[in-house]
Amino acid sequence: MELLLLSVSVVLTAVVLNVVRFYVSGYMNRWLFILSTVWIAVMDRVLMNEPSTSWLMMLIIAASVVSFHLTGAWMSVVLCSMVLWTITNDFNPVLYSSYLLFGLGIYSIRLYVRKLRLQRDQWLDMLTVNSKQLNVTKEVSQAMQQTFEVKRLLETIITSMTAGHGLGYNRAMIFLLSEDGKRLKGIMGTGPITAEEGYDIWQDMTEKRFEFTDLIEQTMEDKASDRQLNDYVQTLDLPLDQDNVLSRVIKSGQPELIHNINFNDPVMALLSAELNVEEFAAIPLINQRVKSGLVLVDNLVNKKPLSMNDIDIITPLATQAAIALQQASRYENIEQMALKDGLTNLLNQRAFQQALDVDFAHRPCSIVLLDIDHFKHYNDTNGHMLGNDVLVQLADLIRSTIRSNDLAFRFGGEEFVIILPTANEQKAIAAAERLRSNVEKENFPCGENQPGGCLTVSIGVARSDGTVDPMEIVELADQALYQAKNSGKNCVAVWQEA
């Protein structure tokens, strides 16, 4: 009967404790746990003919150690020993020593379990980060495979570092090395200018449930806050001969983690004053020892501290970015080579066709078509090698005569064509006449052997108002060129409707 009553008491205590624990704090829960074990010991003492008080004291000690760690261990050992001594009126040092060893043993087990739990949490966090990093790397790789355009690649890179579905940094800025390797030019930045803007952006991303690819599709021009940061970053042009944090990263090829702003460093002082940067990481873009630039990240909004682990996370993406930039650069060089004339280094006929189809399909422009007079006579008299030299010299003369926004092409053989994007007919005629005069005055090799005593060109001009096919304007310029040829050469003719 006594055992039944004790069992009922234990069950009721467990039920009441389980209900009450949801309405009190964690600290009170620990005290309730200890008091419940004390209550069980008291009921055992009251109900049982042969109480197990000495054993139940160990339950109280275990509960105290679990609830209050080492402090609970020695306090419960002392109190339980004193209570048992008072109840039995028998001082038992062996039993009290066993209580102490039991408490220390429970505490050691608790420490070991806590260590295992921390290791498990660390491994879980590491697996989560690695999984996210691999996912970002995969999505970046897929996005990069779709384009060789440098601007698009850079947008993909910095979006992958800052997006909520990416690595999660608040801001990222990319600087690229100049061609001579002496300057760092700010190219692109993404993220808020202020922390308040950052909160608004996060709320908008959460409400619209943006995925990584959605954020890439949103260009810099679509996001006002990004555009502000982007515009400012593009104004930065930093010489590498100065002693500053970014020049050190480029020269050493090693990333740097800055926890405290050094206002004696001009770049740090500038970033702090203009962008409120307090802590940042700068990681170089390097592939096979070739340095392309660097990326800078910080956490303006959530103030999350940066660590070397963050650098380890960003570095593979930075390396991937460096590879992509080098490939894009090679692709652009190949594209440029495909659009350049191998002899004169002017744009070729393919580039001319592309410009007409893409840039001037619906834009007004003037077309100037020129042809070297008596060029067959020149080649027959002086040889084709010297004829090639004349073509190169004429190309250089054309480049030096036209304006910076005009486009010159080698149309084929000894024919050249120039697109004047903003010139009306009068200005086009004036430009053509200036070019004709410069050619007549130029000292070409063996030019005195040409008919007339110098090398000359004939030029045809036509104007497009942007409403007709540009190739039709080229045909009209060609007809004007024939008029110039038939008018005695070394002159400018303008196509006019009969």
Let me know: does 56 contact 40? Beta carbons within 8 Å: yes
Whole-angstrom Cα distance, residue 79 to residue 62? 13
Tell me, yes or no, whether 187 lies in a domain.
yes
Same domain? For 311 and 447 the reply is: no
**What is the average per-residue pLDDT within 102-131?**
86
Q: In the chain, pLDDT over 70 holds for what percent of residues?
A: 81
Tell me, yes or no, whether 138 lies in a domain.
no
Whole-angstrom Cα distance, residue 448 to residue 441? 11
Domain containing 456 — which CATH number?
3.30.70.270
Range name among 9-23, 59-73, 74-88 with the lowest pLDDT average: 9-23
Same domain? For 152 and 264 the reply is: yes
Same domain? For 111 and 175 the reply is: no
Whole-angstrom Cα distance, residue 228 to residue 247? 25
Is the pLDDT at 290 greater than 90? The verdict is: no
The 10s digit of each residue's pLDDT in 73-87 is: 888 888 888 877 877
Same domain? For 329 and 395 the reply is: no
Sign of CA dihedral 344, 347, 350, 352: negative
Pairing of strands 280-287, 256-258: antiparallel
The 10s digit of each residue's pLDDT in 147-170 is: 667 677 778 777 777 765 557 788
Q: Supply the pLDDT for residue 433.
A: 96
The 10s digit of each residue's pLDDT in 328-369 is: 767 666 777 778 888 999 999 989 998 888 888 888 899 999
**What is the average per-residue pLDDT within 28-45?**
76
To the nearest whole number, what is the mean pLDDT of the chain?
82
Let me know: does 84 contact 95? Beta carbons within 8 Å: yes
Sign of CA dihedral 342, 345, 351, 352: negative
Tokens of 171: 């801001």
More confident of the two residues 52 and 315: 315
Indicate the pLDDT class of residue 302, thresholds 50, 70 and 90: confident
Tell me, yes or no, whether 221 lies in a domain.
yes
Whole-angstrom Cα distance, residue 6 to residue 78? 26
Domain containing 153 — which CATH number?
3.30.450.40
Q: Supply the pLDDT for residue 137.
A: 67
Tokens of 381: 């008299």
Which among 117, 137, 166 is the end of a domain? Answer: 117
Same domain? For 314 and 442 the reply is: no
φ, ψ (nearest 5 deg) of residue 432: -65, -40
Which among 333, 357, 391 is the end of a domain? Answer: 333
Whole-angstrom Cα distance, residue 137 to residue 213? 13
Tell me, yes or no, whether 344 lies in a domain.
no
Same domain? For 237 and 317 the reply is: yes
The 10s digit of each residue's pLDDT in 454-473 is: 999 999 999 988 778 888 99
Range name among 118-127, 214-223, 251-260 with the lowest pLDDT average: 214-223
pTM, two decimals, is 0.52
Which among 301, 333, 365 is the end of a domain? Answer: 333
Is the pLDDT at 221 greater than 50? The verdict is: no
Is the pLDDT at 225 greater than 50? The verdict is: no
Same domain? For 193 and 321 the reply is: yes
Is the pLDDT at 212 greater than 50? The verdict is: no
Domain span holding position 363: 349-494
**What is the average per-residue pLDDT within 461-488?**
90
Same domain? For 299 and 217 the reply is: yes
Same domain? For 249 and 363 the reply is: no
Tell me, yes or no, whether 136 lies in a domain.
no
Same domain? For 356 and 249 the reply is: no
Tell me, yes or no, whether 125 lies in a domain.
no
Same domain? For 109 and 159 the reply is: no
Give every CB contact of residue 220 below 8 A, 6+ residues apart in sequence: 155, 188, 190, 226, 227, 230
Same domain? For 103 and 153 the reply is: no
Give the total number of structural domains in the chain.
Answer: 3
Q: Supply the pLDDT for residue 219.
A: 47
Tell me, yes or no, whether 131 lies in a domain.
no
Q: Cα dist. 459→136, 417, 481, 492, 493 in Å?
A: 57, 9, 5, 5, 6
Tell me, yes or no, whether 219 lies in a domain.
yes
